[in-house]
Structure 1
């Protein structure tokens, strides 16, 4: 098999990007990356097209004990995901199919079902459409957003493909997430509509539960390191100091 470094122009697969993302999640949990660095690198990972794009992302991070991880050219089976469970299909058009904000705001977030077509309108107001924990009525959904002197924010989880087709006049649609390949079986979100003196943004974020899990893992790692340092310090103390410390602890318990 050709060495990875000798083939930087080879196209990377979804599985390759997901393996790099897993290294980044481990690095965040271990405290090697802060949340801002993690999100920047994760964003670059899902935008990467070749092995040459992926390799620098984890060059300074360990991979299961390896000092300089490289993306493997050996194709592995795709990991089973949960997208099939979240694309519910059927005749149901979704929990909600429209929203309006006139000098106010709206939110669609949490556990809800995104319909095949969701229409929303914001005038001197704003709206948020958060798909991170949503189910999908179909494998492809359309979000039609009209923003007049207002704004609409669409939040998608990693793995979802985004296509932006909106038109802006003295306003605009965010195309940063367009072109990021989707995971196998993941839904496709098409963002369309019209923006006049307003904007429609698209952002890719981790689900809240995943963020919380990573924070808890990082907190647990810090606690374990602190306890280990304390044990090492106690082990290095002379015996008479350790006996004195044990006596103090017995007195405290009394």
Structure 2
């Protein structure tokens, strides 16, 4: 039981309400609350008149400086962006090739990129998303053959990309080639052949990372006044 629980009818001060608001700001920055929950609880905080009204607002949130108990999960979660040491796992890779003939293919989510991945798109298209992938080695090669079709490769920030493909009445996207990678990050080499087709390379963050950054910016904006 906290001191607040012991005197629920005692009138709360402005400093008490601001202390609760600070806990809420920390919670939204850490992803414990979404913006709708944050705004609702913040309104309740500034309308509260007693400790009894304040206490439930943060009852399910850790106090500042207090770490919550560890949670053990049996489900493998997507790795955090930039945690490269844990994403170069060795082995053979969970998928080594893909073919799309007047159709399409996808490799995305949690999968292990082999040392060499081969794919063919003929009158079709393919997507190879590496943002949540593990890597069998520090350098992997993605060999693409695109004939009247296309392949789109999505890499996370920090990964070095080298593009060496050849295009005839087609092309390989060179925009991400040559950027220096993060220390310890894998290197992705894109090779192959494109005829009346193309192989694109784009660098994107995961949806979860973009959402977390957006929430943090909103929380920081609210603190400015």
User: Is the pair's TM-score, using the shorter chain for normalization, greater than 0.5?
Assistant: yes
Following TM superposition, the consecutive aligned residue runs of length 4 or more in structure 1 with deviations greater than 3 angstroms are 218-222
After superposition, the C-alpha distances for 1:160-203 in whole angstroms (9 at most, x for unaligned) are 11111101010000111111001111100000000000000110
Instruction: Give the paired residue count.
Output: 145
Map residues 165-180 of structure 1 onto 2, 5 A cutoff. Answer: 165-180=164-179
Aligned-partner Cα distance in 2 for 1:221–1:125: 45
Confirm whether residue 193 of structure 1 aligns to residue 163 of structure 2: no
> For the structure 1 residues 216 and 117, does the alpha-carbon distance in structure 2 shift closer, same or farther, using more than 3 Å as the test?
same
After superposition, the C-alpha distances for 1:232-253 in whole angstroms (9 at most, x for unaligned) are xxxxxxxxxxxxxxxxxxxxxx
Show structure 2 runs of 5+ residues with no match. Answer: 1-28, 30-81
Residue 106 of structure 1 is matched in structure 2 by: 105
Confirm whether residue 154 of structure 1 aligns to residue 141 of structure 2: no
Q: Secondary structure at the match of 1:155?
A: strand
Residue 218 of structure 1: how far off its partner (Å)? 3.5
Residue 85 of structure 2 is matched in structure 1 by: 84
Aligned-partner Cα distance in 2 for 1:93–1:152: 22
Residue 241 of structure 1 is matched in structure 2 by: none
Aligned-partner Cα distance in 1 for 2:219–2:101: 45
Map residues 3-14 of structure 1 onto 2, 5 A cutoff. Answer: none
Aligned-partner Cα distance in 1 for 2:85–2:191: 25
Aligned-partner Cα distance in 1 for 2:146–2:190: 13
Residue 225 of structure 1: how far off its partner (Å)? 6.3
Query: TM-score, normalising length from structure 2?
Result: 0.61
Show structure 1 runs of 5+ residues with no match. Answer: 1-28, 30-80, 229-254
Query: TM-score, normalising length from structure 1?
Result: 0.54
Residue 99 of structure 1: how far off its partner (Å)? 0.6
Residue 67 of structure 2 is matched in structure 1 by: none
Q: Secondary structure at the match of 2:86?
A: helix
Question: What's the C-alpha RMSD, in Å, of the aligned pairs?
Answer: 1.8
More helix by share: 1
Residue 219 of structure 1: how far off its partner (Å)? 4.2
Aligned-partner Cα distance in 1 for 2:117–2:204: 20
Map residues 103-252 of structure 1 onto 2, 5 A cutoff. Answer: 103-221=102-220, 224=222
Aligned-partner Cα distance in 2 for 1:114–1:209: 21
Aligned-partner Cα distance in 1 for 2:183–2:218: 32
